[in-house]
């Protein structure tokens, strides 16, 4: 029996729309595309708690793209947002389910 991959996508922002790709790099933490890992970024609320599609189903409408050192986010009726992946912000505590972890703002 032969296995074949029929489609491949990378999801830079957890819960947002993915990027269909023909190829991706394989790193120790999973797939990556132009230096951005699969589900490497996540949205958090004002209290530092991560936001998922379970609470905010409309998160799936956020489109992602990767430019030259930039993660681009866009959605209908909203201004696009470009995040510099080479210059992360300050470290802060975030809550993912029941775990408290360090993230970069």
CA distances from 24 to 9, 10, 31 (A): 9, 8, 6
pTM above 0.75, yes or no: yes
Residue 9 bridge partners (DSSP) = 20
Tokens of residue 84, six digits: 């510099």
Task: State pLDDT tens for residues 79-92.
Answer: 999 999 888 788 99
Q: Residue 42: its pLDDT value, please? A: 92
DSSP assignment of 23-86, as one string? --EEETTEEEETTEETT-B--B-TTSBB--TTT-GGGGG-EEEE-SSEEEEE-TTS--EEEETT
Residue 102 bridge partners (DSSP) = 93
Task: State pLDDT tens for residues 18-53.
Answer: 999 998 889 888 888 887 888 889 999 999 999 999
The Cα 17–Cα 82 span in angstroms is 16
């Amino acid at each position: 029996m032969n296995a074949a991959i029929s489609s491949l996508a990378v999801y830079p922002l957890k819960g947002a729309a993915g990027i269909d790709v023909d190829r991706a790099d394989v790193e120790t933490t999973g797939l990556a595309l132009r230096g951005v890992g699969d589900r490497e970024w996540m949205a958090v609320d004002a209290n530092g708690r991560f936001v998922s599609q379970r609470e905010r189903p409309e998160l799936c409408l956020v489109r992602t793209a990767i430019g030259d050192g930039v993660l681009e986010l866009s959605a209908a009726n909203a201004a696009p947002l470009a995040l510099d992946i080479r210059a992360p912000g300050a470290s802060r505590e975030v809550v993912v389910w029941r775990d408290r972890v360090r993230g970069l703002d």
